[in-house]
Structure 1
Amino acid sequence: MESTTKRNPVIIAILLLLLIFIAAIALFPFFALLLASFKPSTELLRNGLNLKLQADLLSLKNYVYLFQDGAKYFIWYKNSLIITIGGTILSLLFSSMVGYALAVYDFKGRNAVFILVLAVMMIPMEILMLPLYKLIVFLKIINTYWGVIVPTMVAPVAIFFFRQYALGLPKELLDAARIDGCSEFRIFFKIMVPLMKPAFGAMAILQAMGYWNSFLWPTVVLRTEDMFTLPIGLSGLLTPYGNNYDILISGSLLTILPIIILFIFFQRYFISGLTVGGVKG
């Protein structure tokens, strides 16, 4: 019995090598992108992305251009950060409140509202673009940060996720807090939100990635170059009159950093939120 419970070191070694191999394949695009960011555009057009180390071709010219001559790049970076941070915070706030209400409160039409949320999840963004565009024109928020954030700050996917997670919260805490005289908002922010940290961590990463990488909707809303986000601005480097692949790759590499930092801080909540919250209900 004891021998069967012991782990075979050979199997462990094989699994470890297999995981290292899979990780290497997954990280290959990142390392190829990192190496390409130090190469000139002509080399990239000739040989594409590869892991060849050619010391005579490597330089910091691309990054020097971004930091010295690419003033617009950091304006785009700032715009992306503002939209991502603001949109993520508002989306987490409102989506969690809606999902929590659908899970905890028993009111007339609750199931109809939840079915409507599921229905909206199935509608592609392209179908909603025209009515949303008319909405932001009516609100006079075209070419503004709010024009990008407002139509997407209550996300059906986030509502569904928070509802599923909130279904597993202990209802006894609600009753105890009400007996002590707590208001519903205080119960939510002081008691339930701390219990929903894994859900907030998971959704923070997913929502931030959505705002950070969004291209189609900001392209429709934003008009002037000073309001462009990184995806829009970097796409403008590729034109019929010249393809600045070296600058494009260097700029794209720097856009990865905020998402990596975000995942490092929230990875514990992200994993537990998906594994626990995804099976509620």
Structure 2
Amino acid sequence: MKSKQSLLMPKTVLFVLFTALAIMALFPLYALFLGSLKPATEFFRYGLNVRWDFDLMSLHNYQSIFEAKGAAKHYFTWYKNSVMITVIFTILSLLLSSMVGYGLAMYQFAGRNFVFSLVLLTMMVPVEIIILPLYKEMIALRLINTIWGIILPFAVAPLPIFFFRQFALSLPKDFMDAGRMDGCGEAGIFFRIMVPLMVPAYGSMAILQALASWNNFLWPIIVMRTTDKFTLPIGLATFLSPLSDNYDVLIAGAVLSIVPILILFVFFQRFFIEGLTVGGVKG
């Protein structure tokens, strides 16, 4: 009886602790949602707060966005641009990075460790350092003000390569040998056998890569020139200017921008947790 109580106590403490952490993590979203229902004058008076005032709360800010009024007239164009870039970037990044990570894990070739060392070294280089040479390269390739100018420079990133390599190391090579014995080529082994086994890794990286692309601000603002090509983070930033501060529409637009990431996480959370726990184990 005593042992059961001793086991129950740590679980209760952990439950209370993680519940408190979850509330702390969700509290800013709660405050943001309440702020999106209030006029901008309320924000200037009290800031972003959690006071319920039903006389002031309405869906007017969301109505302005859906009716494309004033500063929000390009909002859904920016939304569409962000969705398109995020989808293409995530698919391309997962495909290419998984192939590189799989190759580094499963094949023995001259310079393999050196290539992997370069991948690790690249992870230590801040993106701000390579912004200028990347910008010159995009000009030379005539990719300025195009979605490919945002997608291609970071489509193969060191973090996904490292993650897929570590995950692939946990997979038995017997599957590859069995595939070769059945007459399957190396591409077939990868796409027919290994890709299904790496689904948890794909789920984890899908969330992380999509989130990185969706929230990316620095590189798109450098590459994009015209308003109709802006992504959502850049477009939301234009709501604030020396001439006007559209905080009401900005906060409502920020709330709507969270929806795709929440949907993505709901669908991939099982793979996300499984991929993070399994990927770091070799055996």
Q: Which residue of 1 aligns with 2:129?
A: 127
Equivalent in the alignment of 2:40: 41
Identity between Structure 1 and Structure 2 (%): 58
Q: Does the 8 A contact of 2:87 with 2:210 survive in 1?
A: yes
Task: Provide the residue aligned with 1:99 in structure 2.
Answer: 101
- 1:67-92 Cα shifts (integer Å, max 9, x gaps): 00233000000000010000000000
Pick aligned residue for 2:218 from 216, 219, 224: 216
Counterpart CA distance in 2 for 1:219 and 1:136 is: 13
Paired position in structure 2 for 1:28: 27
Equivalenced residue count is 280
Unpaired stretches in structure 2, ≥5 consecutive residues: none
Q: Could you tell me which amino acid in structure 2 is paired with residue 112 of structure 1? A: F
Residues 40-86 of structure 1, C-alpha deviations (whole Å, 9 max, x = no match): 11101111111110011101110010000233000000000010000
> Is the contact made by 2:168 and 2:198 (CA closer than 8 Å) also made in structure 1?
yes
Amino acid at match of 1:270: F
TM-score by length of 2: 0.95
Following superposition, the deviation at residue 16 of structure 1 comes to: 3.5
Partner AA of 1:260 in structure 2: L
**For structure 1, which runs of at least 5 residues remain unmatched after alignment?**
none
- SS in structure 1 at match of 2:94: helix
Residue 255 of structure 1 deviates from its aligned partner by: 0.4
Q: 1:194 aligns with which of 193, 196, 203?
A: 196
> Shift of the alpha carbon at 1:20?
2.7
| Structure 1 residues 239 and 203: alpha-carbon distance in aligned structure 2, compared to 1, 3 A threshold | same
RMSD: 1.5
Amino acid at match of 1:148: I
Could you tell me which residue of structure 1 aligns to residue 80 of structure 2? 78
Structure 2 residue identity aligned to 1:66:
I
Map of 2:229 onto structure 1: 227
Deviates more, 1:126-135 or 1:219-228: 126-135
AA of the residue aligned to 1:28: F
Spell out the pairing of 1:1-281 with structure 2 (5 A cutoff).
3-6=2-5, 12-68=11-67, 69=69, 70-280=72-282
Letter in 1 for 2:84: I
Q: Structure 1 residues 264, 114: CA separation in 2 closer, same or farther (over 3 Å shift)? A: same
Q: Deviations over 1:125-162 (max 9, x none)?
A: 01111111111111111100100000010011000000
**Which amino acid letter does the alignment assign opposite residue 117 of structure 2?**
I
How far is 1:21 from its partner?
2.5
TM-score, normalised on structure 1? 0.96
- Which whole-Å CA distance do the structure 2 matches of 1:28 and 1:102 have between them? 42
Residue by residue over 1:106-125, the C-alpha shift from the partner in whole angstroms, topping out at 9 and shown as x without a partner, is 01111111011111111110
